[in-house]
Amino acid sequence: MQHYPAAGVDSSTLRWVLDHRTSWATRSASALSTVFAPIWVAIATVISAFGLIRRDRCLERGARILGAVMLAGAVAEALKLGVDRLRPSAIYQVGAPELTMSFPSGHVTGICALVFAAAVAATAAGGARIAAIAAATLVTAAVGASRLYLGAHWRTDVLASVGVALASVLAAPMVVDPVIEWMRPHLPVRLQPMVDAGEGTQVAEHASTC
C-alpha cells in the first residue's frame, strides 16, 4: 500500500471510531449508508432534475442538477482509478466488506453534489438559500460520518469527496449551459421555449426562472 502524507490523521480517526462504536450508532450509520447509496442518489437525481424541468418547462435548473452529479461522479471514478487507494482493512469494516477503491467516497460525492446543486438551483439568494445550504451541509456531514463510522473510508477520502462535489456544482453551469445553447437550433420549434432564457415558467416567488 502506498504511503500517504495524511496517513496519521486517517489512522487516528479510524482508531477513534473503533473505540466509540455502539449498537444504536451502528444501526443508524448502516441505515444512512444504505439510503444514500450511489444507486439511490442517482435515482433521486433523475427524479429531481426531471421534476424541475417539468415544473419550469425549461431545461436550465434541472440540467444543472443532473450535470453537477454526473460531473462529480465522473471525476470521482477517474480519481478512484488514478489514485488506486485501498480501503481500511475488512476487519475494521461493519457488515459485508467493501473492497473497491477508497479515494474518494462515492456515497459522499454523490449526495453532496445532489443536495448542494439542488440547494442552489431551487432557491434564490437570501434566507431560503442559506437554509437550504445549511440542510445540505448537515446531510453531507451525516453521510460522511456514517462512511467513516462503518470503516468503509479514510477521513481524507471523505474530505476529498466534498471537494470534488462542490467543485462540480460550481463547474456545472459552465458545462451545462453551453450544451443547452448548442441544443437550441437542433430542437423542434415547439420545444424551443425549454431552452430560451426568460421563457420558462417561474416556479416560486423567490426561485430563479430560465
| pLDDT for the residue 189 | 67
- Domain of residue 70 covers 22-180
Residue with C-alpha cell 451541509? 137
**Residue at 200: amino acid letter:** G
Domain presence at residue 196:
no
For the stretch 119-141, pLDDT in tens is 998 887 788 899 999 999 999 99
Predicted TM-score (pTM) of this structure:
0.84
For the stretch 3-21, pLDDT in tens is 455 578 888 999 999 999 9
The residue among 6, 163, 200 whose CA lies nearest residue 192 is 200
Domain presence at residue 39:
yes
Domain presence at residue 67:
yes
Q: In Å, what is the CA distance from 30 to each residue of 24, 99, 116, 143, 158? A: 10, 17, 23, 10, 16
Name the average pLDDT for the chain: 86
Domain presence at residue 209:
no
Domain presence at residue 174:
yes
Q: Where are the alpha helices (DSSP H) in 89-199?
A: 106-121, 127-149, 155-183
> How many domains in the chain?
1
Domain presence at residue 5:
no
Domain presence at residue 140:
yes
Domain presence at residue 64:
yes
Mean pLDDT for each consecutive 10-residue tract of the chain (210 residues)? 63 91 94 95 96 85 94 96 91 88 95 96 85 96 96 94 97 89 72 56 43
| pLDDT for the residue 138 | 98
H, E, C per residue of 68-113: HHHHHHHHHHHHHHHHCCCCCCHHHCCCCCCCCCCCCCHHHHHHHH
